Amino acid sequence: MRAILFCLLASPALADIPEAVQDHILPGYAAFARASDSLAAVGKTCDVRALQADFHLTYDAWMAVQHLHLGPGEDAGRALSVLYWPDPKGMGAKAQKALLAGDPAKLAPEAFAQQSVAARGLLALERLIWPADTLPADPCPLIAATTADLARVAHEIDTGWQDYARLLTTAAEPGNTAFLTRAEARQALFTQLATGLESLSDQRIGRPLGSFDAPHPDRAEARASGRSARNILLALQALRAFTATLTPDAPLTLAAFDKAIGQAQALADSDPVLDGIATPGGRLKLEILGQTVTAIRDLVLAEVAPEMDVGIGFNSADGD
Amino acid sequence: MRLFLTTALCTLALPALAVEKTEVVAHYADIGLATYSDALTTAQALQQAVAALVATPSEATLQAARDAWKAARVPYQQSEAFRFGNPVVDDWEGRVNSWPLDEGLIDYVEAGSALNEENAQAGLNVIATPKFVLSGAEVDATTITPDLIATRLHEAEGIEANVASGYHAVEFMLWGQDLNGTGPGAGARPWTDFSATDCTGGNCDRRAAYLVAATQLLVDDLTEMVGNWGPEGAARKVVTDDPTKGVMAILTGMGSLSYGELGGERMKLGLLLNDPEEEQDCFSDNTQNSHYYDGIGIRNVYTGAYTRVDGTVLQGPALADLVQAADPAVDAELRAKLDASVAALGAVKARAESGMAYDQMIEAGNAEGEALIMGAVDALVDQTKTIERAVTALGLDQIAFEGSDSLDNPDAIFQ
């Protein structure tokens, strides 16, 4: 019966788009912009201890919205300039080395905004305030430029979303060429959820997991600052919150999220940078978490998608 | 089951179609066969040019081989529209078109450039090293064969950057590293790198052997794919066994190549990283052509028209006909957007031909280059939206869920 209704009604009576925008997306970006302001203020002082504390707060705030790859975050590569990871060829470190030793004019705001995304953002800052080796020059000017640029980008996204939110919430209204139907807007949001789970599984979990014979804790995200497992936990919490705003009726999915969040919390407490995965017992924990995330993705397709009357949609991670 | 019903009912609700899905997917498979057949014949021409190069190395024979490589890219890139959505193609693709590569695995590179913290073999240099250890086992590479490349070297130690086979490995053999950064100029490998009498770069006999073997392997792999699109071929069956799924595969191929792959991974990311190695044909500076023919290929499979290498045109029942019958406005919009992306990719190609190479376009601060590339990226993203509208217009938007384990047993996770 429900199947027939889906065909006849253009959109099921669900309050999904406004909730996701008002309760999840906009507050998330606003909090990220506030955190980045504080970080930029400390960036001018170059007080490393204070920088490290604000780095964590800003990274935490980004994790609440990092799964959103549409609109102003996607435009002009802004999201990538906040977090460029993974970087297997070390392009970020290479570009930063050139900036540290090069023309200071490149650190001026407009010139710095043109630099490679690999040399900007949170992980670029991490390499400066938790340096692996002695840095070739005084990092303070580059730290100031990096934190100021991050705050600029955060505000561009926050401001841009005021308009983009309107496009989503006025889908199907005359003059809205971005979303011709409400289903298109729901589709765009649902795709973020499905892609967010896929990227969590492939990247944050899959990269360090490697294969049984060759685990790679060294490939985990944000190891220098000790955030690898925490980021997995925060990604799950953010995706759960997002799901709850998209549909009020997805009990199986939300329960699976809770299970995964419990597993991720235990991991964050016991093995913060995933060094333990080099042992069979430690590896098993991350493997089980990975399986739970895969199961959530299946559930999202089986339970959330029909509730929202959408399919998977194309996404920016469709390539290799 | 519920979702399957949704699809069936929505499909039934559509008006009667002048062109049947079965005809559309059959013609689509015919275009697949023609495109891969053209990729094969142009690769065989490349193989002949490579044979001439290693038999009598000279500036002229090297240039002829390079020209043949570029010609071989034209049909192959158009075939990329067949990749996503068809596992038979997608699982095979890594053998022939992997990129980017740690080319130091294969041959000499500039000092300090063979760096990849995740790849211990980034500087292996097989051409200079007849015996070496991979994954803890000794490899005897005294004789360089297609089998050695395919089974021992390609993706060695499970690392994707260890690209030993395919177009880009051959490209590296023919051009060498492009050491001009974001300045003008492509790779400049001298013909003497293949000369027995005036050998430069060392191990010219092994270099020639590698080039010959890698080209043979490319021909073999393409031969296999031509078979996959033949009357009983596996790739053809994927799209013809269930025409509805076949139509979805056409749309998936168009959308995934437009957005995630070409618009995203290959074009936008390169621009954001400003790294000259972030162009797909980075040794030959042929990237503008490879991107352009991707765009043409996406349009081919929508309009059901393919212009073969010999100039003949294959035309028949098309996805466009199905969309036109379901929603003429969506069809008109999609046709216009496909033309717009081809035009934008054509503008990149034209500018490269008039003197600004693709790697120069992605240099930090090159506003003209950025505008050209972003023009194409925006057009590709824009057309993806309309591809999604076509999916909806055809009532296919729930198709992808079939076969999900959790659909039949959502409680599995808690067991």
List the domain boundaries for chain A.
Answer: 4-13+179-318, 17-169
Q: How far is B406 from chain A (nearest CA, A)?
A: 5
In this complex, the residue of A91, A183, A252 whose CB is nearest that of residue B410 is A252
The CATH code for residues A17-169 is: 1.20.1420.20
Scan for tokens 């054509």, then name that residue: B346
Question: Is A314's CB within 8 Å of B388's CB?
Answer: yes
**A120, HSE (Cβ side, Cα atoms, 13 Å):** 28
User: Mapping DSSP to helix (H, G, I), strand (E, B) and coil, where does residue B231 land?
Assistant: coil
Residue type, B304: G
Contact A314/B365, CB-based, under 8 Å?
Answer: no
Mutate to test the interface with A, among B109, B274, B361, B374 (most CBs of A within 10 A): B274
Q: For residue B140, list its beta bridge partners.
A: B131
Nearest CA in chain A to B401: A301
> Tokens 């080796």 correspond to what residue?
A133
> Do the chains contact at B116 and A77, CB–CB below 8 Å?
no
Residue A25: the pLDDT is: 98
CB < 8 Å to A299, chain B: 406, 410, 413
Q: Do B413 and A216 touch (CB under 8 A)?
A: no
Cis amide linkage into residue A86, ω under 30° from 0: yes
pLDDT digits (tens, 9 = 90+) for A185-230: 999 999 999 999 999 999 999 999 988 888 899 999 999 999 999 9
What is the model's pLDDT at position B399?
52
Q: Flag if A2 and B2 touch (Cβ within 8 Å).
A: yes
For residue A316, name the pLDDT band (cuts at 50, 70, 90): low
Using alpha carbons, list the distances in angstroms from residue A1 to A5, A26, A161, B234: 7, 36, 38, 38
Contact B157 A3 (CB under 8 A): no
CB spacing of A302 vs B406 below 8 angstroms: yes
The Cα–Cα gap between B280 and B290 comes to 8
How high does pLDDT run on average in chain A?
92
Q: Are strands B313-315 and B131-134 parallel, antiparallel or unpaired?
A: unpaired
Quick: pLDDT tens for B334-351: 999 999 999 999 999 999
Distance (Å) from the alpha carbon of B398 to chain A's nearest alpha carbon: 5
Residues in A touching B2 (Cβ below 8 Å): 2-3, 306
8-state DSSP, A190: H
pLDDT tens digit string along A141-180? 999 999 999 999 999 999 999 999 999 999 999 999 999 9
- Looking at residue A76, what DSSP letter applies? G
Q: Which of the four pLDDT bands, split at 50, 70 and 90, describes residue A317? A: low
Residue A2 has pLDDT above 70, yes or no: no
Could you tell me which residues come within 8 angstroms of residue A308 by beta carbon, excluding any fewer than 6 positions away? A12, A14, A16, A186, A189, A190, A246, A247
pLDDT truncated to tens, each residue of chain B (415 aa)? Answer: 233 333 333 444 444 447 999 999 999 999 999 999 999 999 999 999 999 999 999 999 999 999 999 999 999 999 999 999 899 999 999 999 999 899 999 999 998 887 787 788 999 999 999 999 998 899 999 999 999 999 999 999 888 899 999 999 999 999 999 998 878 889 999 999 999 999 999 999 999 999 999 999 999 999 999 999 999 999 999 999 999 999 999 999 999 999 989 998 899 999 999 887 788 899 999 999 999 999 999 999 999 999 999 999 999 999 999 999 999 999 999 999 999 999 999 999 999 999 999 999 998 889 999 999 999 999 999 999 999 999 999 998 755 543 333 333 334 434 3
Partner-chain contact B266 A319, CB within 8 Å: yes
Q: Are A38 and A122 in contact (CB under 8 A)?
A: no
| pLDDT for res A44 | 97
Residue in chain B nearest A115 by alpha carbon: B364
Least CB-CB distance to A318: which of B84, B391, B401?
A: B84
Tell me the two tokens of residue A117. 């995304």
Q: Minimal Cα distance from A256: which residue of B?
A: B413
- B330, B397, B405, B414: which to substitute to probe chain A, counting the most A Cβ within 10 Å? B397
Cβ-Cβ contacts under 8 Å, B265 against chain A:
319-320
pLDDT given at position B207:
98
Using a cut of 0.80, tell me whether the model's pTM lies above it. Answer: yes
Closest CA to B382 of B328, B350, B334: B334
Contact between chains at B400 and A312 (C-beta distance less than 8 A): yes
Rounded to the nearest angstrom, the minimum Cα separation between B353 and chain A is: 26
d(C-alpha B70, C-alpha B224), whole Å: 21
Partner-chain residue, chosen from A4, A219, A305, that has the shortest CB–CB distance to B9: A4
Residue B163 token pair: 């690209």
Structure tokens at B229: 């699109």
Average pLDDT, stretch A274-302? 95
pLDDT at position B411, please?
A: 43
Residues A77 and A231: their CA atoms lie apart, in Å, by 21
Looking at beta carbons, which residues of chain B come within 8 Å of A168? Answer: none
Size of interface A-B (CB pairs under 8 A): 138
Out of B6, B271, B387, name the one closest to residue A3 (CB).
B6
Contact A90 B5 (CB under 8 A): no
Cis peptide, bond prior to residue B231, ω within 30 of zero: no
Which of A6, A9, A81, A89 to mutate to test binding with chain B, by most B CBs within 10 Å of its CB?
A: A89
pLDDT at B48: 98
Digit-coded pLDDT (tens) for A240-251: 999 999 998 899
Phi, psi of B131 (to 5 degrees): -135, 135
Search chain B and give the residue with CA nearest A195. B260
Q: Which residues in chain B touch residue A314, judged by CB atoms under 8 angstroms apart? A: 255-256, 258-260, 384, 387-388
In this structure, what DSSP letter does residue A277 have? G
Q: Does A255 contact B269 at a Cβ distance shorter than 8 Å?
A: no
How far apart (Å, rounded) are the C-alpha atoms in residues B246 and B322? 13
What tokens were used for B236?
């053809």
Q: What residues form DSSP beta bridges with A292?
A: none
What are the C-alpha distances in Å from A284 to residues A199, A203, A265, A269, A293?
20, 17, 15, 16, 14
Contact between B5 and A313 using a beta-carbon 8 Å cutoff: no
Whole-number pLDDT of residue A39: 98
Amino acid at B150: A
Q: Which two tokens mark B340? A: 């717009």
Contact between chains at B260 and A255 (C-beta distance less than 8 A)? no
What chain B residue is nearest to A77 in terms of C-alpha separation?
Answer: B272
